[in-house]
Amino acid sequence: MQGHGPKRIYTPQSIEFWFAKLEDDWERHFSPAQLAAGHRLYHEGEVRELELSHEDAIVHRRIEKHDQYAVIEWGADGVLAVRSSSTDPEVARALAVAGLHEIEELVADEVSPLPENAPPVSVNGHGNGKLPADADNHLPSQARNGNGDGQAASLSAHAPTRVSPVHGVAATGPARALLLAFTTTADGLTFQAHWAGPGRKREPALGAAAHAGGNGHVTSAERTKLIGLAAYARKAHFTYHGDTGVYTLGNIAEIPNFLRGTLAAWRKLFAVELDADVTRLGEGTRTIEVEAVASRRVGDTGGALDLRWIFKAGERLLSDAEVDALLRRGVNPAILPGTGIVTLPTEKLASLNAWRRGVAETHADGALPPYLIFSLFNDTRFKLTLSPELEAWRQRVLTPTAAAATQAEILRPYQRRGAEWLHHLCDVGCHGLLADEMGLGKTLQVLALLAARPVAGRPGLIVCPASVVPVWREEIAKFFPSLAVEVLKAGHDFSVPALLPGGPALWLASYAQLRKHRALLAGTEFGYAVLDEGQFIKNPDAKITQTCFAIRSRHRLVLTGTPLENRQLDLWSIFRFLLPGLLGTRVAFEAALHTDRDGTLTRLRAQLAPFLLRRTKNEVAQELPPKVEMELLCPLTEVQRAQYAEICREGLERLGDDVGAALREKSFGFLALLTRLRQTCCDPDMLPWLNSPLADSGKISLLVEKLAEIVGSGHKVVIFSQFVMLLGRVRTALTEKFPDLPRYELTGMTLDRQKPVAAFQHAPGAAAMLVSLKAAGTGITLHAADYVFLLDPWWNPAVEAQAVDRVHRIGQKKTVFVYRMVTAGTIEERIQTLKAAKKEMFDRVVGGLGGDFDLGRHFASLRELVQLTTAHVEPEPAP
């Protein structure tokens, strides 16, 4: 609204005329739509000039550089006519409504409630029809001169409130004092108007009660006071309730300013009475403190959490009814009788609601597991108080004590410590993520736990990729032959008896088979549920993830060396299985990362620390020989260079230069472009429109050159690629250049994975294993090799690391040399930049939990990502 009111032109006679006319209920002459439009014009300060005479009023408005006016003429029966410069009668009458509100405000400004001994104003044809003799003293100098620019007070966005028409106005008589009795309610500050008589007698001045028992007759001077009160109340944003005669200031935030400032002016005009609670409202808004008080319902480790939320205003505890009312208002201020105005800060309310939604989503039965206190302990927005018993339990979780030696004869020291950590989590009723680096024996550590700590009457469940099921069977047969095992297949219902009496001690299930048996999970309870290669449930929307969430078990474990492959949501999904509710809802988790990434990661590390164990080879496997990693820059042949440039040019023409837009709007074309460029970097023969000789691939030529010395010295080598087609071209090159070299292959099409692996491991002398990168991630050991070639950079460094660790793992006796073959000046170099960023993310959260992988964060344009640059390449000699 504009900061000042309209220009006012009037005379004492015109004020008297319109003052008398305001007794009429003029709003009845307008439609609801006209009233609503007029209220809006009034509140938005659209009236620019108001000109009053003793016969009519002219209301001026400026709109789109043109003047618009409405003339209000008053007849004997009220508003007789509205004439306007506008041809639209609705617009004209809306402007008239705005003008009448401005006239009400002007009258209230210039005719103050009269002193007790002032002569009355004559109305309705009685008396001399003039203002009192000293009325001129109540008007500003502008009005006395017949010209004014009075300042208008700011008005409420609500429709103006008018006092109900006053009936039975007496022509003469003294004006009684008008007493305003203020009280507080949950809805705001209220007051009722009373006529104060002798002997503290008081009569209602407004509402239905004012007309009962003859109380509706007032003098003209008293009517003046009621009109003035209506105007002052409207300016202060009070709303009038005609049936009760009560005024309410419902905007609680405005109450302190009214009590500290405006009320002092009102006291000069009216008698004021305040109840005990009103004065507290003037003290301002008090912030509510939130505290969680937690204890255990029973004394054992399985006892549910008893959590009470306490809301305090200073030292006063709020009742349940007050808390409910406060929560319903959200962050808006509320009035608490006996306390004053209070508010719950936005961040506390948001955090409390998010925590409650997370609990309701994962624990609908209301039984809260004690580990949920760790979701509150690291939230500085709350104070958390634990009972002595619960605090002792928390300390047990944080400080595991050494357990008795477990399978000391088959476990290495760090593996024994891992098995003891798993024992500890089971003992305190928690669940954990064993995130040891690949090759450190996570399988063995879990089997040691399952063998030493069985759950009576409940089988265990181990879920893993289909390719890893044979590995688990072999490990069980080798180290724990007493464990009965059954592999889940079609037709099983988790009750098929095993070869040993008592049924299976363990069910082995592939993720695919478990999904097929999902309907049976609700009726089965396991002692242990173990998810191997837990990154398989990184997508919380996937069906296999939802299947795993449906598993019911006393203890839950996840094994993976790469818990954070792409984004933090991977980790949220894993812990949604392990400790439901610990990380809140998915929406709240992602919102917190978006709002405060660094602060959220700090809290995340602290929350997960008691339930996550990760060791690297450098930390615990001192017997492992070193691993030497290096980039091998590869040249482009002329064919590769020409094809790369042409594909890049066509792609930019088709997709434009905006990376984000290409990903959002043309994702298929974008990914197709990147794939074609990567294929060109490896071997132009992979392009469907070419049939190139091996010599056209600079990468294959360099590989053959490096292998000459390596296989000539009797070393075994493993060659990885994402592209099975590229492996086929390498096989052809090896056949031509090294016809006597034993070659083995492992891809997604290999049915018996163990057969080529065993043959390669036991082959005497030099040998080469060609492996599809995805097929090599799990379930195989290739430590007979000591050279590794990664033919094409993979987007995800964790996938590469899994592949490399098939070679660099327990049992390796030689230094392992890892070559990443990168074509210089191409997209492959940019991929390496992305991988470095993702490794930093992994180290921050898990090894050391990071940032979502986003091309737009690394490259300002698509051209920067894919363009070919000049690079001089000097291949490094093999060691």
Q: Does this model's pTM top 0.85?
A: no
pLDDT of residue 532: 92
pLDDT tens-digit profile of 657-694?
Answer: 877 777 777 778 888 888 899 999 999 999 999 999 99
> What's at 357, amino acid-wise?
R
Q: Evaluate whether 458 touches 526 at the Cβ level (below 8 Å).
A: yes
More confident site: 112 or 663: 663
pLDDT of residue 734: 94
pLDDT of residue 644: 93
User: How many percent of the chain have pLDDT more than 70?
Assistant: 80
Question: Which alpha helices (H) appear in 111-215, and where do they start and end?
Answer: 141-144
Low-confidence winner among 60-64, 707-711, 861-865 (lowest mean pLDDT): 861-865
> What's at 363, amino acid-wise?
H
pLDDT tens-digit profile of 781-815?
Answer: 888 898 999 998 776 676 777 788 888 877 778 88
Angle, CA of 216, 18 and 166, to the nearest 5°: 10
Residue 333 has pLDDT above 70, yes or no: yes
Separation of alpha carbons 660 and 662, rounded Å = 5
What are the respective helix, strand and coil percentages of the chain, to the nearest 5? 40, 20, 40
pLDDT of residue 100: 87
69: left (phi over 0), alpha (psi -120 to 50) or beta: beta
How would DSSP label each residue in 56-70? Answer: EEEEEEEETTEEEEE
pLDDT tens-digit profile of 577-615?
Answer: 999 888 888 888 888 778 777 777 778 888 888 999 988
Residue 855 has pLDDT above 60, yes or no: no
More confident site: 766 or 750: 766
More confident site: 146 or 843: 843
Label residue 306 by pLDDT band (50, 70, 90).
Answer: confident
Mean pLDDT of all residues in 507-528: 91
Residue in the structure block whose two tokens are 């349940």: 320
Q: Evaluate whether 47 touches 104 at the Cβ level (below 8 Å).
A: no
Q: Which of 123-137, 242-256, 469-483, 508-522 has the highest mean pLDDT?
A: 508-522
Q: Evaluate whether 68 touches 26 at the Cβ level (below 8 Å).
A: no
**CA-closest candidate to residue 477, choices 512, 440, 451, 514:** 451
**CA-closest candidate to residue 18, choices 145, 110, 150, 128:** 110
Mean pLDDT of all residues in 527-552: 91
Separation of alpha carbons 438 and 431, rounded Å = 21
Label residue 551 by pLDDT band (50, 70, 90).
Answer: very high
Torsion angles phi and psi, residue 148, rounded to 5: -150, 155
Question: Which H/E stretch holds residue 560?
Answer: none
Dihedral sign, Cα of residue 10, residue 13, residue 17, residue 20: positive
> What's at 516, amino acid-wise?
K
pLDDT of residue 286: 82
pLDDT of residue 565: 61
735: left (phi over 0), alpha (psi -120 to 50) or beta: alpha
Low-confidence winner among 118-122, 316-320, 396-400 (lowest mean pLDDT): 118-122
Residue in the structure block whose two tokens are 């010209």: 147
Label residue 424 by pLDDT band (50, 70, 90).
Answer: very high
Separation of alpha carbons 264 and 284, rounded Å = 17
Q: Evaluate whether 678 touches 828 at the Cβ level (below 8 Å).
A: yes
Q: Which two tokens stand for residue 48?
A: 């620019």
Beta strand pairing call for 526-532 and 271-274: unpaired
Dihedral sign, Cα of residue 472, residue 475, residue 479, residue 481: positive
pLDDT of residue 463: 95
pLDDT of residue 135: 31
**Which residues are paired to 78 by β-bridges?**
75
Separation of alpha carbons 546 and 558, rounded Å = 15
More confident site: 832 or 37: 37
pLDDT of residue 169: 42
**Which residues are paired to 75 by β-bridges?**
78
pLDDT of residue 872: 45
Label residue 129 by pLDDT band (50, 70, 90).
Answer: very low
| Residue 347 CB coordination number (10 Å) | 11
pLDDT tens-digit profile of 443-478?
Answer: 999 999 998 888 888 889 999 988 788 889 888 988
Residue 155 makes CB contacts below 8 A (sequence gap 6+) with: 1, 42, 43, 105, 234, 235, 237
Average pLDDT, the chain: 78
User: How many percent of the chain have pLDDT more than 90?
Assistant: 20
Mean pLDDT of all residues in 363-376: 79
pLDDT of residue 812: 79
Angle, CA of 267, 271 and 277, to the nearest 5°: 80
Angle, CA of 615, 620 and 623, to the nearest 5°: 140
Residue 298 has pLDDT above 70, yes or no: no
Relative orientation angle of helices 89-110 and 220-235, to the nearest 10 degrees: 110
pLDDT of residue 680: 93
Residue 732 has pLDDT above 90, yes or no: yes
Q: Evaluate whether 708 touches 826 at the Cβ level (below 8 Å).
A: no
Residue 159 has pLDDT above 50, yes or no: no
Angle, CA of 597, 603 and 605, to the nearest 5°: 100
pLDDT of residue 146: 34
Q: What does each C-alpha distance from 648 to 678, 858, 862 come to in angstroms?
A: 11, 19, 10
pLDDT of residue 402: 64
Distance of CA 288 to the CA centre of its chain: 23
Mean pLDDT of all residues in 400-423: 78
How would DSSP label each residue in 189-203? Answer: EEEEEEEE-GGG-EE
More confident site: 617 or 639: 639
Separation of alpha carbons 591 and 572, rounded Å = 13
pLDDT of residue 562: 74
Label residue 853 by pLDDT band (50, 70, 90).
Answer: very low
Greatest alpha-carbon span in the chain? 130
> What's at 38, amino acid-wise?
G
Mean pLDDT of all residues in 529-545: 90
More confident site: 25 or 163: 25
**Which residues are paired to 152 by β-bridges?**
none
pLDDT of residue 776: 66
**Which residues are paired to 717 by β-bridges?**
768, 787
Label residue 111 by pLDDT band (50, 70, 90).
Answer: low
How would DSSP label each residue in 598-634? Answer: HHHHHHHHHHHGGGEE---HHHH-TTSPPEEEEEEEE
Residue 301 has pLDDT above 70, yes or no: no
Q: Which two tokens stand for residue 668?
A: 């298929």
Start-to-end C-alpha separation, the chain: 79
> What's at 666, amino acid-wise?
K
Separation of alpha carbons 208 and 164, rounded Å = 10
Low-confidence winner among 123-137, 458-472, 613-627 (lowest mean pLDDT): 123-137
Mean pLDDT of all residues in 691-715: 90
pLDDT tens-digit profile of 168-195?
Answer: 344 455 678 889 999 988 888 999 999 9
Separation of alpha carbons 876 and 879, rounded Å = 9
More confident site: 457 or 496: 457
Q: Evaluate whether 337 touches 183 at the Cβ level (below 8 Å).
A: no
pLDDT of residue 313: 81
pLDDT of residue 406: 59
pLDDT of residue 106: 81
